Amino acid sequence: MRINVITLFPDAVSDFLSWGVVGQAMKHKIFQVNTVNPRDFTEDVHKSVDDRPYGGGDGMIMRAEPLKKAVDSLGEYAGTRVYLSPHGELWNDGLAREFACQFKTSNLTLICGRYGGVDQRFINSEVDRVVSVGDYVLSGGEIAALAMIDSIARFLPGVLGNEKSKETDSFANGLLEAPQFTRPPTVLGQNVPTVLRGGDHKSIDAFRAALGLAVSRERRPDLLASDDDRLWREMCEILRTVPAEELRTCGLSAESVNSIYSSSKGL
Ligand code: SAH
């Protein structure tokens, strides 16, 4: 997989990508990232990539020509061109999986804006897709491009130390992952839920599935496709095999724990 990043700050992008599992994957050539700086495609002495907005207003706008030349310099390696912008479709786990699959064999170019954004005419004629990483404004597209690259890379074979984790991580089944614990068994005055220390993997899997649903219901009810009452009652039965205090240690609110414990009443 080859990803091109059009950016005024190529070093910031390359430096960040040299760390952690993504850095290792790049060393092992599982994927490559190539940066192109639009400033290298300016013709004036000041190498200006921006200019004042038509119609007035604060801030500068990135000019279309240096951006177009930067993309054109990639020739056939440009592949699909994605502009990062708050105007785009919202990035999520599903798109990360889709991109990892689609761009395994074809190229992807991510275009980062700066300042007040990019001349719309460049977007109209040179961009295939617009992606946003959330409903907030960043000072540049680099962090958005890095978020995309990082989340795509996790789905490329050989990038994660543990290949199975991407199938149990949050969003893999549409819900949040159950909270995790490591040694020691007691820390900060809190004990690891007993079931997780018991070695009974069937019970552990059932508890984690139920806990994942409970955490999602509390924190991200929007992730639940439908409020499946029967499933929730079954999950509550599993969760009630664990003491209330241990459920609180799993990060559930007192309100959630109460509702788990009272959900059997009257049913
Ligand atoms: N004036 C624009 C924001 C410009 S921010 C507006 O109000 O819509 C400067 C650059 O940061 C943008 O060109 C874009 O590339 C990047 N950027 C800002 N927020 C972003 C987001 N939520 N997702 C992706 N890119 C973003």
Residue 116 CB–ligand 1 contact under 6 Å: yes
- 112 DSSP 8-state letter: -
Inter-residue contact 110 to 82 (CB < 8 Å): yes
Structural domains in the chain, sorted by start? 2-153 (3.40.1280.10), 171-262 (1.10.1270.20)
> Is the whole model's pTM more than 0.85, yes or no?
yes
Q: Read off the pLDDT band of 266 (50, 70, 90).
A: very low
> What pLDDT is stored for residue 228 in this prediction?
85
**High-pLDDT (> 70) share of the chain, %:** 99
pLDDT reported for residue 199: 94
* The length of the chain, given as a count of residues: 267
Is the model's pLDDT at 111 over the cut of 90?
yes
Torsion, Cα of 123, 132, 35, 68 (10° steps): 0
- Judge if the beta carbon of residue 50 lies within 6 A of ligand 1: no
- Residue 4 predicted with pLDDT over 60: yes
Distance between Cα 131 and ligand 1 center (Å): 10
Query: Is omega for the bond preceding 66 within 30 degrees of 0, making it cis?
Result: no
Say if ligand 1 is within 6 A of residue 146 CB. Answer: no
pLDDT band at 54 (very low <50, low <70, confident <90, very high): very high
pLDDT above 50 for 78: yes
Ligand 1 atom nearest the C-alpha of 117 is 13
* Rounded CA separation 155/99 (Å): 9
pLDDT digits (tens, 9 = 90+) for 231-263: 999 999 999 999 999 999 999 999 999 999 997
Task: Give residue-wise pLDDT tens across range 84-100.
Answer: 999 999 999 999 999 99
Q: Whose CA is nearest to atom 1 of ligand 1?
A: 116
| Distance in Å, CA 74 to ligand 1 centroid | 23
Mean per-residue pLDDT, 132-159: 97
Q: H helices within the chain, ranges in order?
A: 10-17, 20-27, 64-72, 93-102, 120-126, 142-153, 165-168, 194-197, 201-219, 229-239, 244-249, 254-262
| 125: Cβ contacts below 8 Å, ≥ 6 apart | none
C-beta of 212 in contact with ligand 1 (< 6 A)? no
Look at phi and psi of residue 20 and say left if phi exceeds 0, alpha if psi is from -120 to 50, else beta.
Answer: left
Rounded-to-integer distance, Cα 249 and Cα 59, Å:
48
Q: What is the pLDDT of residue 211?
A: 98
Index of the ligand 1 atom closest to the CA of residue 87: 8
Helix (H, G, I), strand (E, B), or coil: what is residue 191?
strand
Whether pLDDT at 226 is above 90: no
Q: Is 85 in the pocket of ligand 1 (CB under 6 A)?
A: yes
Please report the pLDDT score of residue 267 as a whole number: 47
- Using the mean position of ligand 1's atoms as its centre, give its distance from the Cα of residue 119 in Å: 12
H or E element at residue 4 = strand 2-6
* Dihedral sign computed on CA atoms, order 77, 51, 60, 116: negative
Burial class (CB in 10 A: 0-12, 13-18, 19+), 131: buried
pLDDT band at 265 (very low <50, low <70, confident <90, very high): low
